[in-house]
Amino acid sequence: MDIADLSGKILNQDRRALARAITLVESGRADHRNQAAELLEQLRGSGRQALRIGLSGTPGVGKSTFIESFGLYLTGLDKRVAVLAVDPSSARSGGSILGDKTRMDLLSRDPNAFIRPSPSQNHLGGVARRSREAVALCEAAGYDIVLVETVGVGQSETVVAEMSDLFLLLLAPAGGDELQGVKRGIMEMADMILVNKADGDLKSAAMRTCADYSGALRLLRRRPQDPDGFPKAMTVSALENQGLAKAWEDMTGLVAWRKQQGHWDSRRASQAQYWFLEELRQGVLAQLQTGAIKAQIGGLSKAVEAGEITPSSAAEQILTGLNLRLE
Amino acid sequence: MDIADLSGKILNQDRRALARAITLVESGRADHRNQAAELLEQLRGSGRQALRIGLSGTPGVGKSTFIESFGLYLTGLDKRVAVLAVDPSSARSGGSILGDKTRMDLLSRDPNAFIRPSPSQNHLGGVARRSREAVALCEAAGYDIVLVETVGVGQSETVVAEMSDLFLLLLAPAGGDELQGVKRGIMEMADMILVNKADGDLKSAAMRTCADYSGALRLLRRRPQDPDGFPKAMTVSALENQGLAKAWEDMTGLVAWRKQQGHWDSRRASQAQYWFLEELRQGVLAQLQTGAIKAQIGGLSKAVEAGEITPSSAAEQILTGLNLRLE
C-alpha cells in the first residue's frame, strides 16, 4: 500500500481513501500496524482539528434517530460530519450491534457525512486505539465534527470521553424513580444531558426527567472547565427535529468559552498523556506473554490451578524477581 | 499484631477477630500487607469452603431488602451467613454507598450473620484483592454462605463473578421494552435472574418481566456448567418472603450438580488462575511507577503533553527498549 498516496488522498477529502485508511488502522496484522503508524505520522502535521463529540446512550433512547437528525442539521449548516462507533461489547458477543448504516438512511446518503459502522472486533484491548486513530483520520480528512457514539457498556464511556472534546449523554424520558439508574460516574463525565423523545405522549415525561437531571447536575462538584450553567440538561426531539439548534448553540458556546479559557488545549494535552500511558500499559502487559517470563507464568499458573500455591503468593514470586529494565 | 493469635480466633469463629482481620486486608500499608499475607497463608489450610454467592443489582431493585430477607431465611436454616460488598464506584465518589448496616437491621443483629460495610476505598486497583481476601477470611471463619453484593458499575460484576460460585442478578419489574437495558455480558454471567418485588401492584409486571428474561436466557449459548433449566429466571418478593425457599432449593440443586460433575472444582481452579494473572498484571503496572523507568515515562509524558510526539510513538519508544527480565 502506498502510504504517501493514501495520505494525500485523505487530505484531499477522498472518502474511499478514508474508509480504506480506517480499515488499515483496524487491522491487527503487524505490517498493517506499521503502515498505520506511518500514515498517522504523515497526517499529524495537517493541523486540522475537528470538534470531537462523544455520545453515550443505552439502546432504546433513540440514539440512531438523534444522530441522523443532528447530523443532518449540521450538514445543513454546511458542516462535514463523521460518525464513528466505539463498541467494546461487540468483542464479546462477536458481532457489531452498532453502526448499521441502515439505521441512518438519510445521513448515510449525505455527501457531507461519513458513517463508519463499528468493526467486528477481534481483540478488545485494541478497541480504544483503533477508535482514536479513526478519529485522527477523520480530522485529517477535514471533517468539522466527529461524532463518536457508544452504548453504555462497561468502560466504553470513559474510553469515548477521553477521546472527545464534548461528552453528551442521551436519555429517554423515565418514570419517577429511575434517576438513580444513570451511574454517577457517567453523569460526572457529561457536558450535556439530552433527554430525547420530547414529543407526543412522552413530552411531559421528558420535561420532568430533564428537570430531575438538572437538579442532579446542580449537586455535582463544579468542574473548572465549565462556565456558568454547565453541565446542563435539556430536552430534544430527534423525531421532530426540536431542540437541535438550541443544543448546537449551547455546544458551540461551551467550546468557544473553553478555547478562550485554555481548557480546550489543556484537555487535549491531558488526553494525549492518558493515551500514552494507556498504550504503554497495554504494551507492557502484552510483553508478559512472550519469552522466558511467559514460560514461568505458565508454570506458576498450573501450580495455582492445582491449589499448590495461592494466587497472591504466585504473583508475588514473579513480581519480586522482575526487573523492568530499559536497554 | 499477633497473627497466630488472630488466625486461631478466626478459626474459632470470633466475629471481632474476623472484623479486625478484614480491616487488616483492607489496609494499603506495606507492613499490613505483609501481615495480611501471613494470616491468609496460615488460614489456607483450614479446608473450609463456603458457598460464595455473587449478587448484582442496580439501586432501586430492592437489593438490601432481598439480602435481609434471604439472609434471615438462611440463618433460619441454621446457616451462618456473611455479607460483603464490592463497590469500586465508591473509590470515585469518595464514600461508601453500599454496606450500610442500617439497611439490614434485623440481619445485622442476627448472631449467625456477619455484615461487613464496604470500606471507603482509597485505591481502586486493590478493591478486587481486598474483597477476595475478605471472602477467604469469612470462609476460614466457618461461614456457610458468603454473599458478595455489588452495584452494577463498570467492571464490578466481572470482579464479583470471578470470586463467586454462583452469580445472581436481581432485577425489578420493568416496563415493556426495558429488557435490553440489562447488558448482555451481565446476562451471560448470571446463573439465576431473580425478579424482585413480585408483590402487590407489581406482581403481574414482575411475572411478565420474568417471562421476558426466561425467553432471553433461552437464547444464550448453553454453558457446560449448567444442567437442564439453567440459567433460569424466577420471581421473588423479598418484602413478603415469597420465592426465597424455591430460589435456595434451586441454588443448592445447581451446586450439587456442579460438584458432582466436577464443575465446582474446575471453576474455583480457573478463578485462582484468573486472580494470579490479575495480581501479576496489577503488580507489573505498579512497577512502571518506580525507578529509572518512571523518570523516562515522566519525560516522554511531558513531550506528549506538548504535542512534540504522538502518544503511540512515545509508548512505542519505551516498549521497544523494555525488557521484562527475571533475576
A235 to chain B, any CB pair closer than 8 A? The answer is no
B149, pLDDT greater than 60: yes
Position with higher pLDDT, B155 vs B269: B269
Average pLDDT over residues A50-64: 90
First to last CA, chain A: 33
Whether the Cβ atoms of residue B128 and residue B148 lie closer than 8 Å to each other: no
Side-by-side strand order, sheet with B192-195? B113-115, B81-86, B145-150, B51-56, B166-171, B192-195, B232-235
All cell numbers assigned to B239: 418484602
Q: What's the confidence (pLDDT) of residue A211?
A: 92
Percentages of chain B per state (helix, strand, coil), in multiples of 5 = 55, 15, 30
Closest B-chain CA to A296: B326
CA-to-CA separations, B175 to A94, A174, A178, in angstroms, rounded: 28, 11, 12
CATH topology for the A48-260 domain: Rossmann fold (3.40.50)
Q: Where are the beta strands (DSSP E) in chain B?
A: 51-56, 81-86, 113-115, 145-150, 166-171, 192-195, 232-235, 322-326
CB contact (8 A) between residue B315 and residue A58: no
Place of cell 439530552: A194
- A chain contacts of residue B172, beta-carbon cutoff 8 Å: none
Could you tell me the residue ranges of all domains in chain A?
1-46, 48-260
What is chain B's Cα-based Rg? 22
Cα torsion A298, A299, A303, A309 to 10°: value is -90
Give the Cα separation of B145 and B135 in Å (integer).
Answer: 10
Query: Which CATH number is B1-46 given?
Result: 1.20.5.170
What SS3 class is residue A171?
Answer: strand
How close is the nearest chain B Cα to the Cα of A253, in Å?
25
How many helices (H) and strands (E) would you count in chain B? 14, 8
Q: A34 Cβ partners below 8 Å, 6+ apart?
A: none
Q: What's the confidence (pLDDT) of residue A310?
A: 83
A181, pLDDT greater than 80: no
| CA A7 to chain CA mean position, Å | 23
Least trusted range by pLDDT, from A42-46, A313-317, B41-45, B154-158 = B154-158
pLDDT-derived band at A102, boundaries 50, 70, 90 = low
A205 secondary structure, DSSP code: H
Q: Which sign does the torsion angle of CA A39, A40, A45, A49 carry?
A: positive
Give the Cα separation of B110 and B70 in Å (integer).
Answer: 13
Place of cell 418478593: B237
CB contact (8 A) between residue B272 and residue A305: yes
Residue A290 has a CB neighbour count (10 Å cut-off) of 10
Instruction: State what percent of residues in chain A have pLDDT above 90.
Output: 55
Q: What's the confidence (pLDDT) of residue A178?
A: 52
pLDDT digits (tens, 9 = 90+) for B92-136: 333 344 445 567 889 999 999 999 876 655 444 567 788 899 999
Residue type, B115: I
Closest by Cβ to B180, choosing from A59, A280, A287:
A59
A326 to chain B, any CB pair closer than 8 A? The answer is yes
Average pLDDT over residues B241-260: 97
CB contact (8 A) between residue B287 and residue A319: yes
Mean pLDDT over each residue of chain A, to the nearest integer = 86
| ipTM here | 0.79
pLDDT-derived band at B90, boundaries 50, 70, 90 = very low
All cell numbers assigned to B241: 418472603
pLDDT-derived band at B178, boundaries 50, 70, 90 = low
B54, pLDDT greater than 60: yes
A327 to chain B, any CB pair closer than 8 A? The answer is yes
Q: What's the confidence (pLDDT) of residue A129?
A: 81
Average pLDDT over residues B5-29: 94
DSSP per-residue string spanning A301-313: HHHHHTTSS-HHH
Whether the Cβ atoms of residue B186 and residue B152 lie closer than 8 Å to each other: yes
Give the Cα separation of A119 and B122 in Å (integer).
Answer: 37
> Does pTM surpass 0.80?
no
CA B121-B124-B126 angle, to 5 degrees, is 90
- A chain contacts of residue B272, beta-carbon cutoff 8 Å: 304-305, 307, 310-311
Position with higher pLDDT, B152 vs A246: A246
Q: Which one of B38, B63, B278, B325 makes the best mutation probe of the A interface by having the most chain A beta carbons within 10 Å?
A: B325
CB contact (8 A) between residue A296 and residue B37: no
DSSP per-residue string spanning B201-270: GGHHHHHHHHHHHHHHHHHSPPPTT--TT-SEEEE-BTTTTBSHHHHHHHHHHHHHHHHHHTHHHHHHHH
Closest B-chain CA to A290: B324
CA B254-B260-B262 angle, to 5 degrees, is 100
B288 to chain A, any CB pair closer than 8 A? The answer is yes
Give the Cα separation of B195 and A200 in Å (integer).
Answer: 31
pLDDT digits (tens, 9 = 90+) for A218-277: 888 888 899 999 999 999 999 999 999 999 999 999 999 999 999 999 999 999 999 999
Give the Cα separation of A293 and B325 in Å (integer).
Answer: 7
Closest by Cβ to A269, choosing from B40, B133, B305:
B305
Q: What's the confidence (pLDDT) of residue A175?
A: 63
pLDDT digits (tens, 9 = 90+) for A110-133: 999 999 876 655 444 567 788 899
Q: What's the confidence (pLDDT) of residue B95?
A: 36
What SS3 class is residue A147?
Answer: strand
Q: A91 Cβ partners below 8 Å, 6+ apart?
A: A121, A122, A123, A124, A127
Specify the DSSP element, H or E, that contains B139: helix B127-140
B220 to chain A, any CB pair closer than 8 A? The answer is no
CB contact (8 A) between residue A326 and residue B314: no
pLDDT-derived band at B142, boundaries 50, 70, 90 = very high
A6, pLDDT greater than 50: yes
How many helices (H) and strands (E) would you count in chain A? 14, 8
What SS3 class is residue A195?
Answer: strand
Give the Cα separation of B163 and B159 in Å (integer).
Answer: 7
| CA A255 to chain CA mean position, Å | 18
Residue type, B57: G
Average pLDDT over residues A154-179: 81
Please choose, from the candidates B137, B195, B126, B139, the residue with its C-alpha nearest in 3D space to the C-alpha of residue B165: B139
Give the Cα separation of A208 and A97 in Å (integer).
Answer: 30
Give the Cα separation of A185 and A179 in Å (integer).
Answer: 13
Give the Cα separation of B327 and B324 in Å (integer).
Answer: 10
Closest by Cβ to B285, choosing from A155, A177, A284:
A284
Whether the Cβ atoms of residue A118 and residue A103 lie closer than 8 Å to each other: no
Q: What's the confidence (pLDDT) of residue A130?
A: 84
What is chain A's Cα-based Rg? 22
A96, pLDDT greater than 50: no
Specify the DSSP element, H or E, that contains A32: helix A30-43
Residue type, B252: T
| CA A87 to chain CA mean position, Å | 9
Question: Any idea how long chain A is?
Answer: 327
A241 to chain B, any CB pair closer than 8 A? The answer is no
pLDDT digits (tens, 9 = 90+) for B185-238: 788 899 999 999 999 999 999 999 999 899 888 888 888 899 999 999 999 999
How close is the nearest chain A Cα to the Cα of B76, in Å?
33
Count of pairs with CB atoms under 8 A, one residue in A, one in B: 206
Q: Which of A177-186, A266-275, A314-323 has the highest mean pLDDT?
A: A266-275
Instruction: State what percent of residues in chain B have pLDDT above 90.
Output: 55
All cell numbers assigned to B139: 470462609
pLDDT digits (tens, 9 = 90+) for A29-46: 889 988 998 899 889 888
